[in-house]
Amino acid sequence: MNKEYIVVGAGLAGGVIARNLAEAGNSVTIYEKRSHMAGNMYDFQMDGILVQKYGPHVFHTNDDNVYDFITHYCNPIPFKTKCEAVIDGISTPSPFNYKTIDQFFSKDDAIKLKKKLEKAYPGQKAVTVVEMLSAEDDDIKSYAEFLFEKDYKLYTAKQWEVDPSEIDPSVLKRVPILLSYRDTYFDDKYEFMPDRGFEFFYRELINHENIRLELSVDALQHIEFVEKHVLFDKRIVDVIYTGAIDELLSFKYGELPYRSLEFDFKRLECSSFQNTALVAYPQEVGFTRVTEYTKMPEQSANHTVVAYEIPRGFSATEANQTERYYPILTEDSMALYNKYHSCAQEYDNLILCGRLADFKYYNMDQVILRAMEISEEILNRKG
């Protein structure tokens, strides 16, 4: 055996690094504070339907290496995520596309508007609502205003818990409106679900004789900082930490801000509840989205299971703690993160990786790439 490593967190970042270190002949112990593995992509059976505890997850990537890595541990089921948004009682594709125009305009006006869009944005597959709001053409502009008032503004206000009047359209720069009838949520080269679910995929990922997993252990109870080293159970050993960076350093500069979510799961006695796996409800009060798990992927049953997505605040010190989901990225929060990051760098056997340690929103392919990069750094460093 080459060397011993401790990985904190049995999420995707921790699993990928553990596997790479183990393949190179090292011994790895993963400590996970939850009672299950797989981090936020964890899924489980509820009333005979595979559901995802921390929100809907689908693998999607343009990267061949990421695709090859994932499919080494599972068989991919090709999947196309579809989403709709209900506006004034009409369910329309999300991202909005030409069908949306057909649904909300008369036939002649719809033809006219689509022609105008093609002329204003020649050769473009998509345009943002922000661009459309500043269009010179009055019809394009008023369509953008309609979507902004009835969807973007309300959805964003609920998600981030701010008054709709405070939503500045410029925060919606990345939200596309499609200039076609494409009705899929992602447009990546690969999009798929693992054939036996995410937890099973993860089990395969860490299934290696050099990897040991300890569940329901809060690693912070075992970690202390002495001079320039991190000690785990009083021993100096390399620690790869994928939990929250502010928590690791005892919140010494204050809490990093996050938004949280609560998922209200319901069993419904019908075979289908909504048209697509994901539906956004911008005009409803109290929740933003509903995921129907019998459609993700297709699972046949006489009943269905849905999860209502309810935006929540997050505070690490609250008694009834929620999960950290979306980092709130502002100049102040980035400055705070940078302080924590510099502090963590003072410890020569501490390595950080993952959405919580890096204070970043990562898609799963991004976290795999980052974890591969970090694994290589660790292995080179050792050499």
Task: Give Cα separations from 322 to 10, 242, 310 (angstroms).
Answer: 18, 18, 12
Nearer to ligand FAD, 43 or 179 (CB): 43
Nearer to ligand FAD, 13 or 86 (CB): 13
Closest approach of ligand FAD to the CB of residue 63, in Å = 12
Residue 275 found at the interface with ligand FAD (CB under 6 A): no
**Near ligand FAD by CB under 6 A: residue from 6, 58, 85, 344:** 58
Closest approach of ligand FAD to the CB of residue 26, in Å = 19
Residue 257 found at the interface with ligand FAD (CB under 6 A): no
Whole-number Å distance between alpha carbons of 169 and 260: 22
Report the alpha-carbon angle 222-223-225, nearest 5: 150
Closest approach of ligand FAD to the CB of residue 173, in Å = 20
Whole-number Å distance between alpha carbons of 96 and 68: 32
**Near ligand FAD by CB under 6 A: residue from 20, 26, 40, 276:** 40
**Near ligand FAD by CB under 6 A: residue from 18, 22, 41, 352:** 41
Closest approach of ligand FAD to the CB of residue 354, in Å = 3
Whole-number Å distance between alpha carbons of 326 and 313: 10
CA atoms within 13 A of residue 230's CA, in its CB half-sphere = 27
Nearer to ligand FAD, 101 or 368 (CB): 368
For residue 199, is it left (φ>0), alpha (ψ between -120 and 50) or beta?
A: alpha
Closest approach of ligand FAD to the CB of residue 341, in Å = 16
Residue 13 found at the interface with ligand FAD (CB under 6 A): yes
Note whether 242 and 9 are within 8 A (CB).
yes
**Near ligand FAD by CB under 6 A: residue from 7, 50, 127, 219:** 219
Q: Which of 363, 160, 354 is nearest to 247 (CA)?
A: 354
Q: What are phi and psi of 333, to 5 degrees?
A: -70, -35
Residue 95 found at the interface with ligand FAD (CB under 6 A): no
Residue 172 found at the interface with ligand FAD (CB under 6 A): no
Hunting for tokens 């689509």 — which residue is that? 114
Residue 34 found at the interface with ligand FAD (CB under 6 A): yes
Nearer to ligand FAD, 40 or 294 (CB): 40
Residue 327 found at the interface with ligand FAD (CB under 6 A): no
State which of positions 228-247 bind ligand FAD (CB under 6 A): 242-243
Contact pattern for ligand FAD over residues 344 through 363, marking x by CB under 6 A: ----------xxx-----xx
Q: Residue 243 contacts by C-beta under 8 Å, 6 or more apart in sequence? A: 8, 9, 33, 219, 220, 354, 356, 357
Closest approach of ligand FAD to the CB of residue 81, in Å = 7
Residue 135 found at the interface with ligand FAD (CB under 6 A): no
**Near ligand FAD by CB under 6 A: residue from 7, 19, 31, 84:** 31
Residue 205 found at the interface with ligand FAD (CB under 6 A): no
**Near ligand FAD by CB under 6 A: residue from 24, 220, 316, 372:** 220
Residue 185 found at the interface with ligand FAD (CB under 6 A): no
Site residues for ligand FAD per CB under 6 A:
8-14, 31-34, 39-41, 55-58, 218-220, 242-243, 325, 354-356, 362-365, 367
